[in-house]
Structure 1
C-alpha cells in the first residue's frame, strides 16, 4: 500500500520482512569483478598525477593550469549530471550501467594519449569523469544487496581492494611504462606521428578497460532488499529530505568528508612533490611509491576488517565507526610531518603510515553510510556522498594545493609547504566533525538491529 507526501511523491509503506540474500558465492564473485572494475577506474583516474610534470613541460603550463587537469576537468561532469544520473541506479539494471561507464571512461583515457594540447586533454579528462560517475554508487548499491548489515564492512573492504590496486598500479605501472618507453624509445603511429612518453602510458592503461566492460556483464543483478522506512520516491527529493531529517547521523559524515577531501590535493601532486623536493624522477617515484602503497593499503584493508569484526564479537555495534576515529587520530601527525622529511625514503615511510591507516578506515567510511541508508535510496545517497569526495577532493583539492603554491608561497619549490599547511588546517577539523556523528550513528544501528531481531 502506498501513500503520498506533501510533494506529491509516493511514499513507501511500512517495513516488510527482508528477503533472503543471494548465495554467498555469488556475492563474493560480484565483489571480485566490481573490485576489478574499480581498479581500472582508479588506474585511469590516478595516472595523470604521475605524468603531470611531463605534461607541464610539454604544454608549458603553470601549476594552476595543471591543477585544472588534475581536478576540475575530471569532476566537471559530476557537477552537471553525476548526481541526477544516480536516480537511474535505484531503478535500472546496475550491472549494465557500470558496463557502459567502463567502456566510456576507458576510451576517454586512451583519447588522453592522443591529445596534442591543453584543451584536447581537458575534454578527454572530462569524458573520463563522465564514465566513472556511475561506478562507485552502483557498485556499493549492488554489494549492499548481496550482504547483510553485519557482513558489509568486510565486503566493502574487499571491494576497496580495487581502489587500492588502482591507486597503486597508477604509480607502479605508470612508472614502469615510463621507464620502458625511455629505454626503447617512443613509438610512431600513422596519422599521430611520434608519441610522447606520457601519451603512450595513457593508451596503455586505457584500452584494456574495454575488455572489463564485457566481463562485468557476467555479474548477476541481485534483488533489491526490502523497503524498511518511509522515503519519497521523487528522484533526489526523497534522498535529500531523508538525509536532512536524520542530519545528526548523516551531517557529520558529509561535512567531515568535505573537510577531509579538501586535504587530498597533495596526493595528486605526489610525483611533482618528490621531483621538486628530492629530485626523484616520475618513474622512480611511481615504482617505489606504488609498491609501498599497495603493500600498506592491502594490509590496512585486512587489518581494518578484522578490527571491526573484533569489536562486533565483543558486542560493539559501532566497530566500523571506531576504526575510522582511532586510525585518523594515529595518522594525522605522520601526514603533517611527511612533507618536511629530509630524505625521500623517510617521506615514503611516513606515506606508508598514512596508506596503512587509510586502508583501514577508507572502506569503513562507505560501510557506515551503507549500513544506515534505506535500500531504495542507497544509490542516490552514495552518489551524493561520492559527489563530495570527487568534486571537492579530486576537483577542488588539487586546485587548492596548486593555488596555495602559486599565490601564498609563490615558488614551485615550496610545494611541500602547501601540502603541510593543508594537512594542518583540514585533517584535525575533519576528525572533530566526524566524531560528532559517532553517538547518533551508533544509536541508529542499535535501533535497526533491534528492529530486525523483533521480526
Structure 2
C-alpha cells in the first residue's frame, strides 16, 4: 500500500513522476461532464430547497412551529447526508464514480416526490432523510472526477461552473416553485388514483421530484469515467486512517478552511431558507409570491459571481499566487459580512431585494475557489473522503444549524414570528466576524499546502 504519511508531510520528498493516463478524457467530453454535473447539482439544490418556499402552507397543514420546520429543512436532511456520505466517499475513492452519482440522483428524486405524499411531521421527516441519503452521493464523486479531468492550476474555473448548478437549483426552487405553488393553489387539492387527495404543496414536491430520474440515466449513459491521475503508478486507495493522518498533518490549512466555509454557509443557508418567509412576514407577500422575484435575482447574479470568482482565482494562480483560491475567499468575506447584517433590516421591499442580490453575488464569488482550494491540496485517492468531510461540516453547520439558529432566535429570543428579520440580522452579526477570522487564518497554511501538493505532483 502507498505510504501516504511518508509522501504527504514533506514537500521535499517527491515520488517518481506519475505516468500519464492511458486514455485521458478529451476536452470536449470533460466539458460535457461539467455540464451534466452542473445540471445534476441544480436538481440537487432544487429538490432540497423547495421546502423553503412551502413553509407557510406546510406549517398550516401540519401545525408546525418555526423550529420544527428548521429541523425538517436542516437536521433531518443533514443527519443522514453525513451518516451515509462517509461510507460512500470510500467507494468514490475506489470504484466507478459516475454510477454512484447516477444512483444518488435517482434516489433523491424519488424521495423528493415522496415528500409530496407525507401526511404528518414524521412522514415528511423520513422523506427528507431519504433526500439526504441520495444527495450524499453527489458532491464527493463529482469533485473527484473533475479533479481528474483538469490541471490543478485550472481547477477553479470548472468547479465554479459546477457550482452554478447550486445557485440555479436554489433559484429554480424559488422561481419555478413559486409559480407552480401559486398555480396549484388556484387549482386546489386534487384526487389521484391509488395515492388519494394531494394538497397544492404536496403536488409541487411530486412534480419537481420526478424529472431527476431522467437526468440520472443521462449521467450513466453519456459521462466518461476519467482515469485517476495516479493510475499506472501502483497507487492504491489509502485507508481511512491514512486519510485522517494526512488531514491532521495539514490541519492548519484544512481546519480553518473547512470551518470558515461552515460558518459562512450558516449565514448563506439561514438567509436562503428564511428569505421567502421574511418577505411574506415583513412586507405582506402571499405564500409563494416572493419566490419568482428571489429566483430571478439568483439566476442572474449568482452565475455571474461564480464565473468571475473562478476567473479571478485562475488569474491569481497564473501570477504565481499559491494562496489564490483562499485569497479570493478572504476578500469576498470582508465585503459580505456587513451586507448580511444590513439585508434583513431593510425598511422597504425593493431595498431588501436589491441587498439580497448583492449578498448573493458576493457569496457566489467565493464559492468556486473555496471548493477548488480543497481539491488542489488533496491527493487524488483521498479526494472523495476529504470532500465528504468538507461537505459534512458544510452541511451540518450550514444546512443544519443555519436555519435552526434563526428559528431559535425567532421562537425563543424575540418570541414573535414578525421579528424574523431581526433574527437573521443578529445571526449575521454574531457569525460573520467568525467566518472572516477563519478565512484569514487559513491563508498562509493553505499556500504552504499548495506548494507541497505541487512537489508531490499528485
TM-score with structure 1 setting the length: 0.93
Q: Is the 8 A contact 2:171 2:299 kept in 1?
A: yes
**1:120, 1:333 → 2: CA distance?**
39
Q: 1:96 aligns with which of 99, 107, 112?
A: 99
**Distance apart, 1:381 and its partner CA:** 0.2
1:262 equivalent to 2:266? Answer: yes
Residues 250, 449 of structure 2: 8 Å contact kept = no
- Asked if 2 retains the 8 angstrom alpha-carbon contact of 1:370 and 1:378, the reply is yes
Task: Give the match for residue 17 of structure 1.
Answer: 18
In 2, Cα distance between the equivalents of 1:433 and 1:259?
A: 9
Residue 315 of structure 2 corresponds to 310
Distance 1:168 1:129 in 2: 20
Report the Cα distance in structure 1 between the residues aligned to 2:316 and 2:153, rounded to whole angstroms.
Answer: 11
1:134–1:266: structure 2 CA closer, same or farther, 3 Å change rule?
same
Cα shift at 1:2? 4.9
Task: Report 1:358-437 matches (<5 A).
Answer: 358-437=363-442
Tell me the distance in 1 between the aligned counterparts of 2:428 and 2:166.
22
Cα drift, residue 361 of structure 1: 0.5
| Unmatched 5+ stretches in structure 1 | 7-11
**Residue 41 of structure 1 is aligned with which of 41, 44, 58?**
44
* Native 8 Å contact 2:94 2:237 kept in 1: no
- The 10-residue stretch of structure 1 (29-38 or 275-284) with the greater mean CA deviation from structure 2: 275-284
Shift of 1:216: 0.3
Q: In the alignment, which residue of structure 1 is the partner of 2:10? A: none
Please list every run of 5 or more consecutive structure 2 residues that lacks an aligned counterpart in the other structure.
7-12
Moved more, 57-66 or 391-400: 391-400
Deviation of 1:15 after TM superposition, in Å, equals 4.8
**Conserved? CA contact 2:243–2:385, under 8 Å:** yes
1:29 to 29, 32, 43: 32
Aligned-partner Cα distance in 1 for 2:266–2:400: 9
Say if 1:320 and 1:364, in contact at 8 Å, map to a contact too.
yes
Rounded to whole Å, the distance in 1 between the matches of 2:376 and 2:388 is 15
Q: Report the more deviating stretch, 185-194 or 205-214.
A: 185-194
Residues 184 and 234 of structure 1: is their aligned pair in 2 closer, same or farther, counting only changes over 3 Å? same
- Counterpart residue number, 2:359: 354
**Which residue of 1 is the match for residue 145 of structure 2?**
142
Preserved CA contact (<8 Å) 1:232 1:238: no
Conserved? CA contact 1:15–1:228, under 8 Å? no
Cross-structure match for 1:78: 81
Alignment counterpart, residue 329 of structure 1, candidates 334, 337, 350: 334
Offset at 1:229?
12
1:303 deviation in Å? Answer: 1.3
Distance in 2 (alpha carbons) for counterparts of 1:238 and 1:124: 35
Alignment partners' CA distance in 2, 1:5 and 1:359: 35
Quote how far apart the aligned CAs of 1:266 are.
3.0
Residue 208 (structure 1) aligned with residue 211 (structure 2): yes
Change (3 A) 1:62 1:15: farther
Match of 1:114 among 117, 137, 157: 117
* Match in the other structure for 2:162: 159
Partner of 1:68: 71
| Counterpart contact for 1:104–1:131, Cα < 8 Å | yes
Deviation string 1:162-202 (CA, Å, 9 cap, x unpaired) is 11111110101100101221334443212333321111110
CA 1:334/1:255 → structure 2, altered by over 3 Å: closer, same or farther?
same
- Contact preservation (8 Å) 1:136, 1:386: yes
- Residue 241 (structure 2) aligns with: 237
Q: Which residue is equivalent to 2:60?
A: 57
C-alpha separation between the residues in 2 aligned to 1:231 and 1:385? 24
Aligned-residue offset at 1:365: 0.8
Distance 2:327 2:385 in 1: 26
Work out the number of aligned pairs and report it.
448
Separation in 2, partners of 1:80, 1:159: 24
Whole-Å separation in 1 of the counterparts to 2:231 and 2:384: 14
Separation (CA, whole Å) in 2 of partners of 1:183 and 1:198: 12
- In the alignment, does 2:291 pair up with 1:290? no
Q: CA deviation at 1:37?
A: 0.8
Aligned alpha-carbon RMSD (Å): 2.4
Distance 2:345 2:5 in 1: 56
Q: Label 1:2 to 1:371 Cα distance change in 2 as closer, same or farther (>3 A).
A: closer
